[in-house]
Amino acid sequence: MVNNIRKNIKRSNVLQLILGMAIIILVNIIASFLFTRIDLTSEKRYSISPATKKVLKKLDDVVFFKVFLFGDLPPGFQRLSNETKEMLDEFRAYSDNIQYEFVNPSENPNAKDRNDAYRLLVERGLQPTDLRITKKGESSQMIIFPGAIVSYKGRELPVQLLMAQLQEDPNRVLNTSIQALEYNLASAIKTLTTDIKPRVAIVEGHGELDQLHTIDLQNALSAFYSVDRITINHKINSLAIRIKSDSTHEVLLNKYRAIIIAKPVKPFDEKDKFLIDQFIMRGGKALWLIDPVFASMDSLQKYNTTIGIPNDINLEDMLFNYGVRLNLNLIQDMNALQIPVKTGQIGNQPQFDFFKWYFFPILVPTLNHPIVNGLNAVKAEFISSLDTVAAPGIRKTFLLTTSPYSRTVNAPALIDLEILKEQPDERRFNQGPQTVAVLLEGVFTSAFLYRIPPELSYNPVLDFRAKSKKTKMIVIADGDIAKNDFSQKEGYPLPLGFDQYSRQTFGNRDLVLNAINFLCDDSGLISVRSRELKLRMLDGNIVMQQRLFWQLLNVVFPVLLILGFGIARYRIRKARFTHPLPHKYHEKE
């Protein structure tokens, strides 16, 4: 009888094993036809957006990522490297055409070959990061390249994985960089796989920034867009192309996805304004970088004084109609850039000291919006404030503001370097944050709705539009944000946003790039930039106070848990198999 019971138990276990294996095989067969992934994290940190999935599923050839963040890295950069690998693995789950390799550019022991490799990476567009590492009381320098080169069908694009942020906690910088991984990697794929680049125009003819002062911006834009410099000059074909329609007349369509108007100093005539207005009415996007007040740093450095005067470029009525008023003032901000000022002379050598120049505010983005989320601080020069006005159907988003310690000076304004010799009175900087950049979205009304004769407004050849398609524009009250400087010694153009005095690079280039990407993006990919991953930091004081307790808990508790489980299992088995059989199973004598 005992043998029969044991055989039944054995047979039942075998059947359960076979049934379990059959279920597993069946689930795998079903899973091969039905693809799904479940993310149980609160902020969905391991889920990619529908826009990214759409980009990945369209791939028809291999996209290869060569990541140079590898090797014996500090913990923070090791985390960024691991997160990059996990993101690429996530991409591979949706496309077999994603391949990657992690490389350590510093592994070559030969110093010359290593430096040549560094130089080649810089020429290909990657920026190095110089770290000072301390181990066992010894300090050493390490050069790392937190970036990747993305290749597709013979084309390649550099991707910077580390997003620089001035005066920000390193942990937050790394967290921001991890947040931006999906967008940066997916954007590179979208750019490389787009055969025909969207066209963007930089408008000229009204004293705007010339090609030399926008050369870095043009180079940055050219990776994503086909960039032209155009002079409107009353020519309707400068912003539009004619195509044959089914009717007797031709239809005007926008040639460009967006236009950039950067620091004009000459008035726009009504014909050019009309063409820009109709470009917007047909769904065109615009980035306005306007100086409401003109002030020259060159004359200030030469004469130690200058005057900020209103910059009459005849755009006020047009922008007011769209929902923005540019104020005729200059902002002073205690959070400002430092400039060198001559304070004396020793022999033939002038002596310079650095002072905060309150007319050059440093704008620190705080909004969780795709254009400015995670953006480095932006430097501005003689910037003004702006206000929004009533415009039905237009949604307004303030993108950038000054610090709470700001004030405005109405134009005409005397600007004198002598103010640097005075100790600033914080009580005078009491007007709070001043808005300097705004995004407008919606259906705009033409600025010429009631200004052209009826015979023109109803002329089918002109095809006047009184209302726009749903479109967007961005207005920034400073043209210098898009201007690159020149090296004072060699005279070559500097990167946009680079300050040659402090040797810091601000976020001006990324701001303009993000703005154009947001205006031109039809896929929704740019929205990924507003994704937020919570940084759950440990309390450093509590960690130090309870360090020994948690170390013992992590080392001893798992061992005790396993021992307790083993002892309990032993006792259960012993009680189960040594218990006497019930009376009914005893053999009768």
Q: What is the mean pLDDT of residues 86-114?
A: 89
pTM of the model: 0.79
pLDDT recorded at residue 327: 96
pLDDT recorded at residue 134: 66
Residues 391 and 278 in one domain: yes
| Count of alpha carbons within 13 angstroms of residue 412, beta-carbon side | 4
Per residue in 332-351, pLDDT tens?
999 999 888 776 777 677 77
Whole-angstrom distance, CA of residue 77 vs CA of residue 144: 9
Q: What is the mean pLDDT of residues 147-163?
A: 91
pLDDT recorded at residue 588: 46
Residue 360 lies in a domain: yes
Query: β-pairing, 258-262 with 199-204?
Result: parallel
Share of the chain above pLDDT 90, in %: 41
- The number of distinct structural domains making up the chain is 3
Which carries the bigger pLDDT value, residue 453 or residue 150? 150
Residue 200 lies in a domain: yes
Q: Is 482 helix (H, G, I), strand (E, B) or coil?
A: helix
| pLDDT band of 352, cuts 50, 70, 90 | confident
The rounded mean pLDDT for the chain is 84
Buried b (16+ CB within 10 A) or exposed e, 138-151: eeeeeebbbbbbbb
> Does residue 133 have a pLDDT over 60?
yes
Where in the sequence is the domain holding 569, given as residue range(s)? Answer: 2-34+544-585
| Measured CA distances, 299 to 212, 303, 308, 325, 419 (Å) | 21, 6, 11, 28, 16
Residues 208 and 90 in one domain: no
Q: What is the mean pLDDT of residues 474-494?
A: 88
Residue 528 lies in a domain: no
| pLDDT band of 519, cuts 50, 70, 90 | very high
Asked if residues 133 and 142 have their Cβ atoms less than 8 Å apart, the reply is: yes
CATH number at residue 410: 3.40.50
pLDDT recorded at residue 589: 42
Residues 307 and 330 in one domain: yes
| pLDDT band of 46, cuts 50, 70, 90 | low
Which carries the bigger pLDDT value, residue 122 or residue 489? 122
Q: What is the mean pLDDT of residues 468-496?
A: 90
CA-based radius of gyration for the chain: 32
Residues 304 and 395 in one domain: yes
Q: Is 211 helix (H, G, I), strand (E, B) or coil?
A: coil
Residues 291 and 253 in one domain: yes
pLDDT recorded at residue 585: 47
Per residue in 167-210, pLDDT tens?
667 777 888 888 888 889 999 999 899 888 899 999 999 999 99
Which carries the bigger pLDDT value, residue 280 or residue 73? 280
Whole-angstrom distance, CA of residue 6 vs CA of residue 4: 5
Residues 377 and 400 in one domain: yes
Q: Is 491 helix (H, G, I), strand (E, B) or coil?
A: coil
